[in-house]
Structure 1
Amino acid sequence: MAAVLMIGTFLGLFGETALNMALTNIMEDFDVSAASAAWLTTGYLLVLAVLVPLSSYLVRWFTTRQLITAAIILAIVGSLCGALAPNFTVLLVGRFIQALATGIILPLMFSVVMLIFPVEKRGAVMGIVGIILTAGPALGPSIAGVIVSALSWHYIFWMMAVAYVIVLIIALTKVDNVSEVTRPKIDALSLIASTFGFGGVVFALATLAEQKISEPIVYAPLAIGLVLLLIFGVRQTKMAEPMIDLSVFKSPMFSLGVALMVATMFMILSVAILIPMYLKAVLGFAALTAGLCMLPGNVLNIMMSPIVGVNFDKIGAKMFTRIGFSMILVSMIVFLTTMSATTATWIIIVNLCVFFVGVSMTIMPAQTNAMNSLAPQKFADGSAALNTLTQIAGASGTAIAMTMFTIGQQNYAAKFINVVPADMLAHGIHTAFIVVAVIAVVGLIGSFFVKNVEAVRG
């Protein structure tokens, strides 16, 4: 059952970034701009940001078996839409449907895994969950690069559809109902405020890549979204049965763990969209070569995650997060000081290895320490809150990275009369990495406030 949830989640998170390596191909096939093509990733994350908060309702209204089955069927439909897409609109719709599936199965995996495994096995299991959370979006560009070079971007969707069908067959025989169906009253105002609040903020951030913040299409949804989120938050504190019980944030270590997770996911999704663009557009690599350049770092991340998980109880979140964020910051400094149109390939590969080893030391310890600070009856609410904010962070990372990339190019074009395309693109990516470096600094500072938490029993 855990395997079904983890594989389903891996496929969904793989789908978040898989098209990043194929964006240039899709732009040519459908004649769309880079900012429009980026909506294939940002739109995916936008749907997740809207849907994940609803997960605390879904697990109380439907059985585990119903939710998993529905999610996988939606994933198959979305994958087929992408594989058969005759135009960009159908492709985007397919991505939205895929995101609906991931939005259901991702938070479900967290709460179910926390329920079905005993406390003494939680560190090792969450190590595997850490692989899923980081390897999915990180491996997306690498695997997709091989697929695009050998076949075409359509086969990314065909292969996902086949994988989902296999998972569905296994799920129908292995999934049991572990959550309690209480069917609480649905609060319409909370539902509306959550949907349009999170959606408005992510939409505004994504639109910044093409429009100035002074444009109504940016500031209007941003302002409305922030107001609705404020209404949502206040309302949750006054309801007998809130949509998401925000009392989980009364735990300092839960709040800090979520903040560190948010920082890490922001950086992962930023790197996942910036590096493929840099390797292909600036250094001129084919999709296969670009994918292979990212592979060593991803392999190290996969190898390190279970090691971190097994040793979590001995070493604790405090030490792991400090080492992890230090490594991430070092990698960002190297990117900022070496990245240009002539950077040696080995520097990029080695630096990505440093980055992903750092990620493996931050994401699992941060999330496990956060969830350990909650009582079991709060797992669903904690999972919904944690996953909502991390998906918002992922969407923000992608959107802000593209915005800063665009600003960097514009600044370069304004500064130099004879524009060299490769240098302009490199400057844009360098500008985007400044923001990622700032987030790394914030994460490192936060890690010095982490305290190791014993898991709450009963």
Structure 2
Amino acid sequence: MDITERNKKVLLIVLIAGCFLSTLNQTLLNVALSGLMEVFDVTAATVQWLSTGFMLVNGVLVPITAFLMQRFTTRQLFISSMFFLLIGSVLCACAGNFGVLLTGRMIQAIGAGIIIPLMMTVILYLYPSEKRGIIMGTIGFAIIFAPAIAPTLSGFIIEYVSWRWLFIGLIPFLLIVIVLAFKYLMNVAETTKAKLDITSVILSTIGFGCILFGFSSAGSKGWDDPGVITAIIVGMIVSTLFCLRQMKSSDPLLNLTVFKYKVFTLTSFINVLITMIMYADLILLPIYLQNGRGFTAFEAGLLLLPGAVINAFLSPVTGKMFDKYGAKPLFITGLVFIIVSMWGVIDISDSTTYIYIMVRTIILRIGLSFITMPLNTAGLNALPRELGSHGSAVNNTIRQLSGAIGTAVVITVYTMQATSHASELSMENENITAIEPEALASILGSSDAYVFMLALSFVAFIIACFMPKKAKAAIKKSEGESQN
């Protein structure tokens, strides 16, 4: 299909706008959870389902996105996902009880689960490998900028207006994007009469769903909870069965042959570690600031803002650099920044300044801007075009699972260490600090958890060293082979 440059730009603008709203919506509730506990009179474990449930629906939906992209047109999928976001937002805004709010979030998650894999696949169709870096960088701006402003924005809304405006505010923007999509969005790839393997859908839903549920519940219920252990074991067994079925199938739901490509496999390993670090830091830093230091949610959100804004604005720059220099130098540079940022917080205390933590977070975010979007681009560039939608679906499945697992593991390390420090402090007769023992235990627990994250950063750095230097040449070769 021949698409003009102008049409490509219009298509990208509409997709980026939809992606921005979807990503913003994902993280908007993070700092509102404690307030919603009071509004609906629910426990922390119950309110957590607003995040866990969203992640579950997202994670379960992602493996079937490759099929959806074969079966339905770009227009149909994008407009449907925007309508799901709209209906979910209206339900949440009008929610009179927690059940309705949770239902609205689940409906929003259906829309959000489709958008990013759809957008990645559209880019693979529209742009050659040597131009994808800058385009991915521009998209990275939207994907990174949305969660960057979300904590500060939602903190401000909750403090000065009402939590309902977190959803009411989204509605007019979603309507505008839907109108633009109807007017300007064109179809990119041809659809095929792909058959849906129902058994694979059931296996992926149970497998990935149980793993996500098990790990995301471990933080609140503990690793010795029978429900958590059962969910993780069942999830791993069923996911293994799913993978075996995909390898034997002639038309797999999720094509695992993408792992035959070395660059894609290496970027997938780095993706797992970077996602674990990124998600865990977004959970751990507010715990340290609020539980350990007594800052408000709004102050914690403000601290995260400068680093995240710099990250977003650097994304198009690192996209250009990727096109020029390839993946390896960018990954190594980014991981050096990440290692420095983790090293800087392995001994945080009650006297560590707000500015110091802010500067450290800026360093982390600079590092992430060298990795996040180039990682996706390098992995997908390594694949022939016909495997693009599968590669995108695999990437997003990995990200969902890594986020849940990384958060759970780091919160467990934090909880175990904080509990251990609390018992040690209670045995000491004299406490030479002016800070409460519980807060001090929380600070020491955070510090120990960052040591674990520093170790993950070093592992990612070692893997990045194995990235081929001439990845771009290899990409062009594989594309040439696929066209012959």
Shorter-normalised TM-score: what interval? Answer: over 0.9
Aligned counterparts of 2:426 and 2:42: Cα–Cα separation in 1:
27
Aligned counterparts of 1:36 and 1:353: Cα–Cα separation in 2:
33
Aligned to 1:381: 390
Aligned to 1:412: 421
The 1:36/1:442 distance shift into structure 2, 3 A limit, reads farther
Matched, 1:197 2:214: no
The 1:93/1:415 distance shift into structure 2, 3 A limit, reads farther
- The residue type equivalent to 1:12 in the other structure is S
CA contact (8 A) 2:422 2:438 kept: no
Q: CA deviation at 1:151?
A: 1.8
- The residue type equivalent to 1:62 in the other structure is F
Aligned to 1:109: 119
Aligned counterparts of 2:231 and 2:248: Cα–Cα separation in 1:
26
Q: Residue 79 of structure 2 is aligned with which of 44, 47, 69? A: 69
Matches within 5 A, 1:18-417: 18-338=28-348, 340-417=349-426
Q: Residue 450 of structure 2 is aligned with which of 429, 433, 436? A: 433
- The residue type equivalent to 1:427 in the other structure is L
The 1:152/1:403 distance shift into structure 2, 3 A limit, reads farther
Q: Residue 422 of structure 1 is aligned with which of 439, 447, 462? A: 439
Matched, 1:449 2:466: yes
The 1:311/1:378 distance shift into structure 2, 3 A limit, reads same
Q: Cα deviations across residues 58-100 of structure 1 (Å, max 9, x unaligned)?
A: 1112111111111001101112222222333332222221111
- The residue type equivalent to 2:352 in the other structure is T
The 1:401/1:154 distance shift into structure 2, 3 A limit, reads farther
CA contact (8 A) 1:148 1:287 kept: no
Q: CA deviation at 1:39?
A: 3.0
Aligned counterparts of 1:241 and 1:379: Cα–Cα separation in 2:
15
User: Please, which runs of 5 or more residues in structure 1 have no aligned partner?
Assistant: none
The 1:395/1:80 distance shift into structure 2, 3 A limit, reads farther
Q: CA deviation at 1:261?
A: 1.9
Aligned counterparts of 1:142 and 1:22: Cα–Cα separation in 2:
11
Aligned to 2:8: none
The 1:421/1:393 distance shift into structure 2, 3 A limit, reads same
SS at match of 1:335: coil
Q: CA deviation at 1:420?
A: 3.0
CA contact (8 A) 1:46 1:395 kept: no
Aligned counterparts of 2:176 and 2:229: Cα–Cα separation in 1:
44
Q: Cα deviations across residues 5-39 of structure 1 (Å, max 9, x unaligned)?
A: 22222222222222222222223323444444333
Q: Cα deviations across residues 187-241 of structure 1 (Å, max 9, x unaligned)?
A: 1221111111001111110121233333320111111111111111111111111
Aligned counterparts of 2:448 and 2:36: Cα–Cα separation in 1:
25
Aligned counterparts of 1:275 and 1:290: Cα–Cα separation in 2:
8
Q: CA deviation at 1:428?
A: 3.9
SS at match of 2:471: coil
CA contact (8 A) 1:328 1:440 kept: yes
Q: Cα deviations across residues 249-286 of structure 1 (Å, max 9, x unaligned)?
A: 10010011122122222222222222233333333333
SS at match of 1:243: coil
CA contact (8 A) 2:66 2:390 kept: yes
The 1:149/1:280 distance shift into structure 2, 3 A limit, reads farther
CA contact (8 A) 2:151 2:298 kept: no
Aligned counterparts of 2:404 and 2:392: Cα–Cα separation in 1:
18
Aligned counterparts of 1:37 and 1:398: Cα–Cα separation in 2:
17
CA contact (8 A) 1:197 1:224 kept: yes
Aligned counterparts of 1:394 and 1:136: Cα–Cα separation in 2:
17
The 1:275/1:87 distance shift into structure 2, 3 A limit, reads farther
The TM-score, its normalising length taken from structure 2, stands at 0.89
SS at match of 1:185: coil
CA contact (8 A) 1:42 1:398 kept: no
CA contact (8 A) 1:141 1:276 kept: no
- The residue type equivalent to 1:91 in the other structure is L
User: Please, which runs of 5 or more residues in structure 2 have no aligned partner?
Assistant: 1-10, 428-435
- The residue type equivalent to 1:190 in the other structure is S
Question: Once structures 1 and 2 are overlaid, which stretch shifts more, 270-279 or 49-58?
Answer: 270-279
CA contact (8 A) 2:426 2:437 kept: no
SS at match of 1:327: helix
CA contact (8 A) 2:148 2:309 kept: no
Q: Cα deviations across residues 427-458 of structure 1 (Å, max 9, x unaligned)?
A: 34334434432322221111111124224444
Aligned counterparts of 1:161 and 1:106: Cα–Cα separation in 2:
20
- The residue type equivalent to 1:423 in the other structure is L
Number of equivalent positions: 457
SS at match of 2:165: helix
Aligned counterparts of 2:194 and 2:180: Cα–Cα separation in 1:
30
RMSD: 2.0
Q: Which protein shows a greater Rg?
A: 2
Matched, 1:4 2:14: yes
Aligned counterparts of 1:330 and 1:35: Cα–Cα separation in 2:
34
